């Protein structure tokens, strides 16, 4: 991890003192599905990536955090403060937001004029930092925002958000449509902001490389639920693919099926077996004690998320049967 805080990932629902945002039984009815109930805390001083398929509720969650969408039930607190109704201005000034699709209201403004307007709402606005960011990342200052490229527009949005000196920065798919050069600039800008500021970032993304380069924690949403939160480095080691060569001893195979952590067991026509497990070491050790040859492989990003979802549902099914 790039940044370290006292935060127990296993108890993230109760780590309020080290959290910027805390959700308690938060739910929202949408046309096609329900988001929640959500119980989750956003760790302070870190970059957390919110991932999941389209339509799982990520944007709904962000808008509830911005208070542009009100939950139907439950409670949200920001920096230890719970709000009923509209978010107070003093609290709103501590939060900055960058959307996947910038607002069209400022299209006819130049970067400088748009920044001057925004600075009115943020008392800690740092004009010197804003100008420096625009210069560093080659954003035109005197062209209308509608006339500059998407990459330049998104870098302007990020520069303005950082110059507002927020304590919390919410980013909704900020790299969507960016070319590789603009994307690299975005990564640099965000990492520099984390090094220089007292800042927490929550970013929704579909890009594995973005998670690798930025995130300290990863949160997975699926069908309106939060499946959990993991440290990024631990997530990449959480599940493994284990292959077992063809064997004749079916009794031994049945023993292996009892090993903990197995979420998928796939018998192949040639007699080999492909297994997905969160405890590859025990499985491999048990197999080798029986003279069975195994091969262990890491998983790609999409496979990791799929395993996470399967594991989440298996645990819920077991809890429901108790």
Q: What is the pLDDT of residues 54-108, one digit of tens each?
A: 888 899 999 999 999 999 999 999 999 998 888 999 999 999 999 888 878 888 8
Backbone angles phi, psi at 157, to 5 degrees: -60, -40
| Mean pLDDT computed over 165-183 | 88
* Spatial contact of 94 and 168, defined as CB atoms under 8 Å apart: yes
* Alpha carbons 220 and 56: distance in angstroms, whole number: 10
**Res 10 pLDDT > 80:** no
Q: What is the pLDDT of residue 66?
A: 93
**Res 286 pLDDT > 70:** yes
* Alpha carbons 24 and 61: distance in angstroms, whole number: 13
> If pLDDT is split at 50, 70 and 90, which confidence band does 16 have?
low
In 3D space, the residue among 23, 31, 51 whose CA is nearest the CA of residue 212 turns out to be 51
In 3D space, the residue among 217, 155, 175, 170 whose CA is nearest the CA of residue 58 turns out to be 170
Least confident of 169-173, 177-181, 187-191, 226-230: 177-181
Retrieve residue 203's tokens: 């970013």
Q: What is the pLDDT of residue 9?
A: 39
**Res 198 pLDDT > 90:** no
* Alpha carbons 28 and 135: distance in angstroms, whole number: 42
| Mean pLDDT computed over 211-233 | 93
**Res 32 pLDDT > 80:** no
**Res 6 pLDDT > 60:** no
Least confident of 3-7, 117-121, 218-222: 3-7
> If pLDDT is split at 50, 70 and 90, which confidence band does 44 have?
very high
Q: What is the pLDDT of residues 227-240, one digit of tens each?
A: 999 999 999 888 99
| Chain position carrying tokens 């949005």 | 157
In 3D space, the residue among 210, 202, 133 whose CA is nearest the CA of residue 164 turns out to be 133
Retrieve residue 251's tokens: 């009794």
Left, alpha or beta for 200 (phi > 0: left; psi -120 to 50: alpha)? beta
* Spatial contact of 220 and 51, defined as CB atoms under 8 Å apart: yes
Please classify residue 148 by burial: count the beta carbons closer than 10 Å to its beta carbon, then call 0-12 exposed, 13-18 middle and 19+ buried: middle
Q: What is the mean pLDDT of the chain?
A: 87
Q: What is the 8-class DSSP label of residue 10?
A: G
E runs forming strands in 112-193: 168-172
* Spatial contact of 81 and 21, defined as CB atoms under 8 Å apart: no
**Res 153 pLDDT > 80:** yes
Q: What is the pLDDT of residues 300-311, one digit of tens each?
A: 888 999 999 999
> If pLDDT is split at 50, 70 and 90, which confidence band does 218 have?
very high
* Alpha carbons 180 and 189: distance in angstroms, whole number: 14
Q: What is the pLDDT of residue 291?
A: 84
Residue 221 vs residue 176, higher pLDDT: 221
**Res 167 pLDDT > 90:** yes
Domains, the chain, with CATH or none: 16-232 (3.40.50.300), 236-320 (3.30.70.100)
| Mean pLDDT computed over 21-31 | 92
What is the reported pTM?
A: 0.86
In 3D space, the residue among 245, 246, 286 whose CA is nearest the CA of residue 262 turns out to be 286
Q: What is the pLDDT of residue 127?
A: 93
**Res 215 pLDDT > 70:** yes
* Spatial contact of 1 and 233, defined as CB atoms under 8 Å apart: yes
Beta bridge partners of 277: 240, 262
* Spatial contact of 115 and 130, defined as CB atoms under 8 Å apart: yes
**Do the bridges between strand 200-204 and strand 47-51 make them parallel or antiparallel, or are there none, so unpaired?**
parallel
């Amino acid at each position: 991890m790039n940044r370290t805080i006292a935060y127990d990932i296993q108890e993230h629902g109760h780590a309020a003192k080290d959290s910027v945002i805390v959700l308690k039984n938060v739910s929202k009815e949408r046309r096609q599905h329900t988001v929640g109930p959500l119980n989750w805390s956003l760790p302070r001083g870190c970059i957390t990536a919110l991932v999941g398929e389209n339509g799982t509720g990520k944007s709904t969650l962000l808008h509830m955090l911005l208070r542009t969408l009100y939950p139907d039930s439950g409670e949200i607190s920001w920096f230890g403060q719970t709000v009923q109704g509209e978010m107070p201005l003093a609290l709103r000034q501590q939060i900055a937001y960058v959307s996947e699709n910038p607002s069209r209201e400022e299209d006819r403004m130049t970067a400088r004029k748009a920044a001057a307007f925004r600075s009115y709402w943020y008392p800690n606005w740092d004009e010197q930092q804003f100008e420096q960011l625009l210069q560093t990342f080659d954003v035109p200052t005197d062209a209308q925002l509608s006339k500059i490229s998407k990459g330049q527009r998104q870098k302007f949005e990020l520069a303005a958000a950082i110059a507002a000196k927020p304590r919390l920065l919410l980013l909704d798919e900020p790299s969507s449509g960016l070319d590789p050069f603009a994307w690299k600039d975005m990564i640099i800008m965000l990492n520099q902001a984390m090094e220089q500021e007292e800042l927490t970032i929550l970013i929704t993304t579909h890009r594995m490389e973005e998670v690798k380069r930025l995130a300290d924690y990863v949160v997975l949403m699926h069908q309106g639920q939060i499946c959990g939160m993991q440290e990024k480095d631990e997530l990449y080691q959480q599940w493994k693919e284990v292959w077992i060569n063809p064997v004749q001893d079916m009794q031994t195979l049945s023993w292996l099926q009892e090993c903990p952590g197995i979420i998928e067991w796939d018998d192949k026509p040639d007699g080999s077996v492909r297994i997905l497990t969160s405890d590859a070491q025990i499985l491999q050790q048990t197999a080798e004690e029986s003279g069975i040859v195994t091969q262990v492989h890491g998983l790609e990003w999409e496979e990791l998320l799929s395993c996470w979802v399967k594991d989440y549902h298996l645990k819920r099914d077991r809890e429901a049967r108790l």
